Amino acid sequence: MITYHNPLHQGHAPAHEFFRGERVPCFEKPARVDYVEGALRARGQDLMTPDVDSAPVLSQVHAPRYLAFLQTAWQQWLALDPANAGVQPFPSVWPVRTLRSDLVPENFVARLGLYSMDNGTPMASGTWAAAKAGADAAASAATLVAQGARAAFCCTRPPGHHAGPDFMGGYCFLNNAAVAAQVLRNQGAQRVALLDVDYHHGNGTQSIFYDRADVLFISIHGDPRTEYPFYLGHPDETGVGEGAGFNLNLPLPAGTSATTWFDALESACARIASQGADALVVSLGLDTFEGDPISKFALASADFTRVGERLARLGLPTVFVLEGGYAAAELGTNAVNVLDGFEQV
């Protein structure tokens, strides 16, 4: 399968995140994608370098003030104190209900809160460059699919599906899957189906397309009553305005078996088939794996082949975009299994 990689992903390498009040090593680490690239290269897969500038498309899915902030965030952090080069910035105050989010504070950490949904999205010196190159990879993959390729894979980190119109969150900065869907729309697809199979609900993607009928968002994920991101991903979220009826959430309880998960995949595929779409974007989270350290579904490595096979039977031009998955050493096998399953149909 045509595969784009992210040549700058290793520049996004924050050391730690918070877990129950303690600093722990980041789960979303460079080795994740190194393992996927290794598995792809081992089977002779050519990894292409991004060749499309996603900047114009990023402006269609993210707010200008958020993009401007993110692009220079690290320089702003260093401007506070050169010693910050070795320190990770974290937000400490957020404009929740009754507080104003229309004003942009001058204080950097306050602005970090304005543009964040959590304190779980650490930055490093190369974060913008890595995130931008990932969005370029997504735009590149989608462009080839728009031009007639059957499928393409965007092998990138950091992930993107928690990043909303004007905020980062859940290890995500730029919404790569939204970029791919928007590229397909810009290049002639009338309706795009965006299926998110990551363990965590893709709140950012849902929010970007919530009032639009041209991108049908469907997500299978851990029930947000107990699982991150908690505040979105519930079954009664079906879209608004022109987008009413074009959002489908299929939450499943933590601990759900592979059998039940595949029943949900069947429901998702039935909706895609009935609503109609001329292209598919898959937010390919691999944290549904039974060995994932932060998630609670139970897919085995062989099940990922079945995922690819089922998606192929939709018969749509397809862009796969890597999202989560934290059992790093198994990510290569699991990713390759999805792509192999797809190509064998």
Alpha-carbon separation of residue 156 from 48, 175, 198 (angstroms): 12, 11, 14
Which residue in 136, 223, 237, 287 binds ligand OKP (CB under 6 A)?
287
Site pattern 190..229 for ligand OKP (x: CB under 6 A): --------x-x---------------------------x-
Binding residues among 56-115 for ligand OKP as defined by CB under 6 A: none
Any residues with CB less than 8 A from the CB of 319 and at least 6 apart, and which?
138, 141, 142, 145, 151, 152, 153, 154, 180, 184, 279, 280, 281, 282
Report whether 166 contacts 261 (CB < 8 A).
no
Q: Which does 19 bind (CB under 5 to 8 A by kind): Zn ion, ligand OKP, none?
A: ligand OKP
Confirm or reject binding of residue 19 to ligand OKP (CB under 6 A): yes
Choose between 189 and 299: whose C-beta lies nearer to ligand OKP.
299
Q: Is 12 a catalytic residue?
A: no
Any residues with CB less than 8 A from the CB of 279 and at least 6 apart, and which?
145, 146, 184, 189, 192, 193, 316, 317, 318, 319
Confirm or reject binding of residue 171 to Zn ion (CB under 5 A): no
Enumerate the β-bridge partners of residue 194. 217, 281
**Element counts in the chain: helices (H) and strands (E):** 10, 10
Least distance CB 24 / ligand OKP (angstroms)? 7
Report whether 121 contacts 16 (CB < 8 A).
no
In whole angstroms, give the CA distance from residue 100 to residue 97: 8
Site pattern 156..195 for ligand OKP (x: CB under 6 A): ---x--x-------xx------------------------
Q: SS3 of 110, please?
A: helix
Confirm or reject binding of residue 198 to Zn ion (CB under 5 A): yes
* Active-site pick, 162, 200, 201, 221: 162
Choose between 50 and 169: whose C-beta lies nearer to ligand OKP.
169
In whole angstroms, give the CA distance from residue 150 to residue 141: 11
Contact positions vs ligand OKP (CB under 6 A): 19, 120, 159, 162, 170-171, 198, 200, 228, 285, 287, 294, 323-324
Question: Which chain residues interact with Zn ion by CB under 5 A?
Answer: 198-200, 285, 287, 324
Q: Would you please indicate which residues are annotated as catalytic (active-site) residues? A: 162
